[in-house]
Amino acid sequence: MIHLFADLELHIRIMLICTLVLIFIYEAINGFHDTSNSVVTVIYTCALQSRPAVAISGIFNFLGVTFSGLSVAYTIIHLLPMQLIINNNPHHILAMVFSILFAAILWNLSTWYLRLPTSSSHTLIGALIGIGIINTITTHCQFAQGLNIQKLIEILLSLIISPLIGLFFAKIIMLILCQYWKNDKQTCYIHMTPSEKEQKNGKRQPPVLLRSILIVSSAGVSFSHGANDGQKGIGLIMLLLIGVIPTSFIINMNTTQYEIEHTRAAINYLHQYYINTYSQQNIHQLNKIYQKQGLILKQQKFIQDSQITLSNKQIQTTKNNTISYKQTNNTHQIPNIKTKHDTLTLYDNDLISNLNIINHTLLLLKDLHTYDQLNPHERSQLRYLLLCILEIIDAISKSPNVSSIEKYQFTKLKQHLLHTIEYAPLWIIITVAISLSLGTIIGWKRVATTIGEKIGKKDMTYAQGLATQVTTAIAIGIASYAGMPVSTTHVLSSSMAGSMLMSGHGIQNKIVKNILINWILTLPISIILSSLLYWIILKFFLQ
């Protein structure tokens, strides 16, 4: 790992190390800020004492980061256009990431001190938006070029919808428990609080079966939290390293020859599918257009145009992170047309351009055994091209004419492509996992008190704890699998409120109002903090 920093200037090396340390601190704060989500129900239902509960939470947070994949991490990275990350100099990248971390750490510590459950995800997304806004202003470009708007909308929707899902499903689980699991001897006092159970039989702990379910679901919440929130730290580190040391990190330099061959085979399959499926369907309509211009287009000519080599084409990267091509010889341009498959032609509905993207990638991968054979510029090109091909595959998969078998095949193709561009070295995953898990052992009690004691008007029952934890573990787990960053805090707090409303215990309006205000303010405040600091650094230190 250390040799990767050897070629950097001394001051950049020092700033890079300091920024990496800040990311680990951010993850540790995330750990103790959000540990309450994992342990509050298991502690307040007396299923476990605080020390073993926190220890289990730390272990499963570590496992969640280690074994969860990287889809959430790269969702965070793709929020900023790759062109912005690659084309900036290292000083700007360091300033960007430092501003993001400063805003996130300051707001998370402030809300933790005030004992308010807040979302680290909202804070991080807001900080990224602030960076995008300042880049838009300073570079005089459109807002869509400073941020990936489509990805931003998807993330915001997941952050908004996930608490509502938690509220709804916790109420459903409570309804089922109230309907079919009555409070009698056979069901072990599930609708009692620990205090009520103690008055009845002298014990506060839930029965063995219920206690086991509460402990397992608590571990599930911790694992899901690590799988989602831990990946955000990995994403920040990869964003930093791709921007500062692109030669070593823009693609996975440890990709094996076997994986490269599979990547090449996947793109070959896509090329053949594209030619076989869409050349036949478009050739007739293209001929009509050509005949009006006094030209004749044959299928062979169509395929030859789609396989034009680099000597006849020039690849250009544009500001909006797409690939454009210019014809350097004097051949006829095929006009753009709209067909029932126009959603498949991403770049100005130009079928030929899409095929050229595919062919250019195949040329880069031709006779390639290791990515060390590519120069730094070719590595950047390969990343851009693979991102474009992934968009093409997504567009094809959304077509109603594509069968379920073909969609499954395209999903497998994407997995072969992601080996190259969505990865993280093991040392990054382990250090983030350690930071998050160590953070769980300190400071958890402040926010846990608010969630466990102050949301509801009455102490938590075993059933409410069960409904809350099961809902949270499943919801966050599904979001992590889908690659969507969500707030564990929001999902668990809303699940808790839903379970209490369903059981008729009610909620403390003043506390819930303060929590909601905090949730609403998180995004704009983090936007303001990160954008203001980034602007100050650009204005006074990087001129």
Give, in order, the Cα–Cα distances in Å from 227 to each of 364, 426, 488, 495. Answer: 34, 15, 11, 19
Q: What is the pLDDT of residues 140-189, one digit of tens each?
A: 877 777 788 888 888 888 888 988 999 999 989 988 888 877 655 555 57
pLDDT at residue 339 is higher than 60: no
Give the bridge partners for 327, in sequence order.
313
The DSSP secondary structure of 124-184, one letter per residue, reads HHHHHHHHHHHHHHHHT--HHHHS-HHHHHHHHHHHHHHHHHHHHHHHHHHHHHHHHS-SS
Cα 442 to Cα 447: distance, rounded to the nearest angstrom: 12
pLDDT (0 to 100) of residue 1: 62
Which residue matches tokens 């499963």? 60
pLDDT at residue 338 is higher than 80: no
What integer is the mean pLDDT of 265-271? 90
Q: The tokens of 343 are what?
A: 């959603």
Q: The tokens of 106 are what?
A: 């300051």
Q: Within a 10 A sphere around the Cβ of 273, how many other Cβ atoms?
A: 17
Give, in order, the Cα–Cα distances in Å from 25 to each of 55, 500, 503. Answer: 19, 35, 40
Which one, of 16, 228, 158, 14, lies nearest residue 101 by Cα? Answer: 16
- DSSP-derived letter for residue 114 is T
pLDDT (0 to 100) of residue 184: 57
Torsion of CA 43, 45, 46, 49, to 10 degrees: -10
Q: Of the spans 90-94, 144-148, 393-397, which averages the highest pLDDT? A: 90-94
CB of 36 within 8 A of CB of 451? yes
Reported pTM? 0.83
User: In the structure, what pLDDT confidence band is assigned to residue 400 with cuts at 50, 70 and 90?
Assistant: confident
Q: What is the pLDDT of residues 208-263, one digit of tens each?
A: 888 899 999 999 999 998 998 889 999 999 999 999 999 999 999 999 999 999 99
pLDDT (0 to 100) of residue 504: 62
pLDDT (0 to 100) of residue 2: 64
pLDDT (0 to 100) of residue 104: 94
CB of 212 within 8 A of CB of 205? no
Angle between helices 208-244 and 120-139 (to 10 degrees): 20
CB of 440 within 8 A of CB of 58? yes
Give the bridge partners for 325, in sequence order.
315
pLDDT (0 to 100) of residue 7: 76
User: In the structure, what pLDDT confidence band is assigned to residue 348 with cuts at 50, 70 and 90?
Assistant: very low
Q: Is 541 helix (H, G, I), strand (E, B) or coil?
A: coil
User: In the structure, what pLDDT confidence band is assigned to residue 501 with cuts at 50, 70 and 90?
Assistant: confident
What integer is the mean pLDDT of 388-394? 88
Q: How much of the chain exceeds pLDDT 70, in percent? A: 80
Least confident of 8-22, 121-135, 331-345, 456-470: 331-345
Sign of CA dihedral 240, 243, 246, 252: positive
Q: Which residue has the higher pLDDT, 503 or 472?
A: 472
What integer is the mean pLDDT of 459-473? 88
Which one, of 203, 195, 341, lies nearest residue 274 by Cα? Answer: 341
pLDDT at residue 102 is higher than 50: yes
Q: Which residue has the higher pLDDT, 356 or 539?
A: 539
Specify the length of the chain in residues. Answer: 543
Q: What is the pLDDT of residues 419-429, one digit of tens each?
A: 999 999 999 99
Which residue matches tokens 């072990």? 188
3-state SS string for 44-95: HCCCCCHHHHHHHHHHHHHHHHHHCCCHHHHHHHCCCCHHHHHHCCHHHHHH
CB of 108 within 8 A of CB of 120? yes
Q: Report the mean per-residue pLDDT for the chain.
A: 80
Maximum separation of any 2 CA atoms in the chain, in Å: 95
Least confident of 240-249, 348-357, 376-385, 421-430: 348-357
Least confident of 4-8, 21-25, 157-161, 527-531: 4-8
pLDDT (0 to 100) of residue 320: 38
Cα 89 to Cα 94: distance, rounded to the nearest angstrom: 9
Angle between helices 488-502 and 149-180 (to 10 degrees): 30
Q: What is the pLDDT of residues 31-48, one digit of tens each?
A: 887 777 778 888 888 888
CB of 438 within 8 A of CB of 55? no
- DSSP-derived letter for residue 335 is P
User: In the structure, what pLDDT confidence band is assigned to residue 280 with cuts at 50, 70 and 90?
Assistant: low
Beta strands in 321-457 (DSSP E): 323-327
Helix (H) or strand (E) holding 283: helix 280-292
Q: What is the pLDDT of residues 401-421, one digit of tens each?
A: 788 888 898 999 999 999 999
